Each structure stands twice: as structure tokens, then as C-alpha cells.
Amino acid sequence: MSLLVVGLSHRSAPVSVLERAALNADAQAKLLQDTLAAEPATEAAVLATCNRIELYADVDKFHAGVAELSTLLAQHSGVGLEELTPYLYVHYEDRAVHHLFSVACGLDSMVVGEGQILGQIKDTLARAQELHTAGRLLNDLFQQALRVGKRAHSETGIDRAGQSLVTFGLEQLAAREPVGEWVRGKRALVIGAGSMSSLAAATLVRAGVTEIVVANRTFERAERLAEILGDSGPAGVTARAVPMDSVARELTRADVAVSCTGATGLVLTADVVSAAVEGRVPAEARLGEVPAQARSGSAGTAVRPVETAEEPCPFDLSTARGFSVAGEAAVAGMDAASLEQHAAWVDNAPAERREGTAPDPQAEAEAIAALVAAAGRTGRLPERRRPFPSAAHARPAVLALLDLAMPRDIDAAVHRVPGVRLVDIESLADASADAPMAADVEQVRSIVSDEVAAFGAAQRAAHITPTVVALRTMAADVVAGEMARLEGRLPGLEDKQRAEITQTVRRVVDKLLHAPTVRVKQLAGEPGGAGYADALRTLFDLDPQTVAAVSRADHTNNENDDPNRGRA
């Protein structure tokens, strides 16, 4: 076994890189085909989810395999190899098995213990089988990963530690309020009709929304999902489907929207969201206005709006209210030049303009200078995703958005739209970093370790089986040859005598081979036991072609005899 995995995930790479490296179905298929065409790989599978992209392969050379798989990932993701390499991780042989089993159990998920990954692993195997890129090793590996994941969920309480990204995302939107209470009575819009969107829609219906609208590029799929939701949901829930060009209109009616599509571009821009909110937000909370409760400081003194007539600020202060009030969220995604301009504007601010404003000009200038430096290094401004304790963000949200897509469906600039709360993959990663781990996680880790050892032993034992079969075939040929020679020398043997002699010779051969073949299978199952097959072939001068023929025949028989192969 020479299993190799090269990949990146939310643990190794920022969301901005994962977003750019995301692979659609066609790109995944092409990556698999190109991987098999590469010299080091004989099998391949791609596990691509919203927070990981991993390429699994059976390779004959480790270093060449790492180089080739890394290059292929870079080519098909569109992220340059030099940029992608620092975020890649590599696992080999038993470590690769351990990694996949951990992933299957939800130990490596953004939300520890979530069960959706099992469906994604099943889809990965099905895709590799459909494209004929999965052979014996990857078929066995992914089938066992599914069994290990199911065992972890059935034998431990890992479900108590984990939940789906949908549930976790809704909890973040609801903040301190129980999801059921927060959702009850709301109108929901779900964009997309795939597995994640369907789960989101079903979760919202169970939680108590009064209306759910499904939008999808293929209207028939949206209709089908809406029909299922209407039939299976509680009484009083309205479920209907709309085409994608109705999303902007439906957004003006929705209280919460969930988006998870396979689109490569933005589904909801900041302008669309802002327009949808404009007619719903109370007048005092609209863009450019300050809520009444934010107009006085702790001592009751008025806080005057920043005057900009004599020298306009480079960005809209009605959103930022200075700089610190909305912080980095106010300028997320802006270029370094605009930030530098604002830093100079703050530095040169006359005293009367500063009076009554909360920010300290020096501190503001330093903060912006740091952001400029960061933008220069990364090519974009770092985007803060957590809520800011500011007047602008203290306003009650009239529209809650959950973006579960990778790459993202909803413009990050939506964070700056008053009255909107956005939770996306990046903010979920921030929140899950502080989530408590259940005690059952240790039990799951123990299960994974045991299963990895068992899988490795089984693979190593299976590796030597063709050699043992070839040895016994050679011994049977020797017996047959010797009996033919005896027949020539003793042509007068009776059938009974001939049969007895044949049986005796076979018993002798079997007894001589029994102990060494049983023992070599045991030894091959232990770590480092792969060399016993080579030793057996060398000692008995076995023809490598014979061993290979046995392997091919055994593989074909296994596939034909197992009607459940490829099913989980």
C-alpha cells in the first residue's frame, strides 16, 4: 500500500485561498483523469467540500507523487503552485488512512462531530467509481472510512459535540437566543436546491418558519424541494419555488436567507442586499442615519456627525461613523491607496472636526496604517467577521444571511450594510475555534486508532496473499509434473495406487508449506511486514508475472462477487 493524500482545508488555509481553490464537478473529473495519466499514480479520488480539497492516490513513488499531486491541484484550482504550497498538507500510508478516518468521524470538521461529511465521502467514492479511477486500495479505504464514521456515531456521543454546518450557522445568527425561538414565525429564502440547501430548508421548516421559498437555477429542482417541504412540514407552513431572477424581490420579504449554490460568482451583491433592506429598515436606521439610542454618550452629551465638507473622507463615513465605530468591517476589501488617504485625512483633521468624536486620531491613523501594511502583503484587506460592539452593529438585524457556499455566494461587503447580519464559512471557522469539545471525542480517537491498525494489517495481509497463492500454485504444478514422470516410469500402476501416491505427495507438500505460509501472513500484517512478500518470491523464485496474474484475477473476482461494492 502506497496511499498518498495531498490537500488543504480550513485548518491549513485561510478561507480566501479555499474559496479560490474550490473545484466544481467538471474540474474534479478532469483532475482525476489527469492524476491517473500522471506516472506515479494508479488510483485517485477527490474529496472536495466547502472547507477542504483533498486528492487521494495510490502511488509508487512518494516524492514524485507529492510533486505531481501538488502540481495538479494547483493547475486545476487556478491557484499558483508557489502560492498554494504553504497551505498544503501531505499524509502517507498509515497517516493518510488515519487522516481520512478522522475526517469521516467528524474530528477534522469545522464543527467537530458533524455527520454531513459521511455523505460527502460516499459521493467521492461514487464519483471515483463512475470515472473508473478507484481501484482495490481506494475502494477498500473509502468503504472502510464510511464504516468507521458510522461506528463512531453509533458507539459514542460524538453527535452531542457536533452538528451540521446549517445548525451551527443558524445558532450563530440567533446569537444567544435558541434557534427554535429565533426562527419561529419568520419567512425564509433558500437559494440553491442541492444537499446543503435542502438540509437548510428542512432545518428551517422543522424550527418553525411560517414560509419558505426555494430559488434555484433549475426551476424543476426548486419545485421538487418545495413540494417535499410542503408535504413533510408541519401544518401552516407555506413552501413555494421561484426562479433565480426572483431572488432580489423575494429578499425584500425574507427575514432569513440561506445560500449554498455551485456558482462561481456572487449570487447576492452588497447592492442587491442593501436595496432589499432599504424598504424594510426603520427610517432612523437607514444608511447615513444614527439611531436615537446612539446619539448620546454615556454622560448624555451629543455626539456630532463628522463634518466632511472641507476635505471629504475617501470612504463613506455615514457607514463607519469615524473609523473605530464599525472598525475593519467598514473598509473590508478596500484598496491600500484609499486607506492611506483616510489615514492622512485623520492625521490632518482640525481640532474642531475631532471634537465630540469617539476615535483618537493617532490611534486611528496607526490602525489604518497596519491595515494598509496587511493589504500590501496579502493583496486584500483582512476581513473581520465577528460582530463589533458599535452603534451601527447594535441595531436589530432585519435580514439574517447564512452563506454556506465555497466559493462564497454573498458579497463580504454585506457586513457593512446596516440592518443585515451575515454569517459565512469564515465566521463559522472563527466561532468553531472556541467551541467546547465533547468528552466522547477521545473515545472516537481511540476507535480511529484501532481501525487504522486493523486496516493496515488487512491491507498488508492482502498484499502477500497473491504471493502465497502463486507459491501453492507452483507447488501443485511440481506435484503434477512429478506424477506425470512417475506415470512414465511405472506405467503399470493401478488407479488406486496412483491416487494414493498422488494424495501422499500432496499431503507432504501441504504440510511443508502450511506453517511458513500461515506465519508469513501473520508477519505481513504487522508494521513493516510488506517485505515478506518480496522475500517469499525471492526464496522460491516465483515468477512476478504469475503473482501479478493472481492479483488481477483476485481483484476481478472480488468486484464481481460483491454486489454492494460502491454502496454505503
pLDDT reported for residue 125? 96
pLDDT reported for residue 31? 95
Interatomic CA distance for residues 79 and 89, integer angstroms: 16
- Closest of 73, 79, 66 to residue 16, by C-alpha: 79
Which of the residues 50, 105, 260, 313 is marked catalytic?
Answer: 50
Interatomic CA distance for residues 177 and 14, integer angstroms: 29
> Is 102 labeled as ligand-binding?
no
> Is 194 labeled as ligand-binding?
yes
Correct CATH for 165-282+396-423 of 3.40.50.720, 3.30.70.890, 3.40.190.170, 2.60.110.10: 3.40.50.720
- CB neighbour burial string for 110-130, b if at least 16 within 10 angstroms, e if fewer: bbbbbbbbbebbbbbbebbbe
> Is 348 labeled as ligand-binding?
no
> Is 115 labeled as ligand-binding?
yes
C-alpha cell at 497: 495406487
Query: Is pLDDT above 80 for 317?
Result: no
Query: Is pLDDT above 90 for 103?
Result: yes
Interatomic CA distance for residues 324 and 340, integer angstroms: 16
Interatomic CA distance for residues 286 and 274, integer angstroms: 10
pLDDT level of residue 162 (50, 70, 90 thresholds): low
pLDDT reported for residue 564? 45
Q: Is the pTM of this model over 0.75?
A: no
Catalytic residue check, 313: no
> Is 236 labeled as ligand-binding?
no
Instruction: Report the range of poorest mean pLDDT among 227-236, 242-251, 436-445, 450-459.
Output: 436-445
Domain borders along the chain are 2-161, 165-282+396-423, 446-560
pLDDT level of residue 5 (50, 70, 90 thresholds): very high
CATH code, 2-161 = 3.30.460.30
Query: Is pLDDT above 50 for 83?
Result: yes
Which amino acid appears at position 405 of this protein?
Answer: A
| Per-residue pLDDT reduced to its tens digit, 385-443 | 334 333 333 345 689 999 988 888 999 888 888 889 999 888 887 776 655 555 678 88
> Is 192 labeled as ligand-binding?
yes
pLDDT reported for residue 475? 85
Query: Is pLDDT above 50 for 50?
Result: yes
pLDDT reported for residue 8? 95
More confident residue, 409 or 302: 409
Query: Is pLDDT above 50 for 512?
Result: yes
pLDDT level of residue 91 (50, 70, 90 thresholds): very high
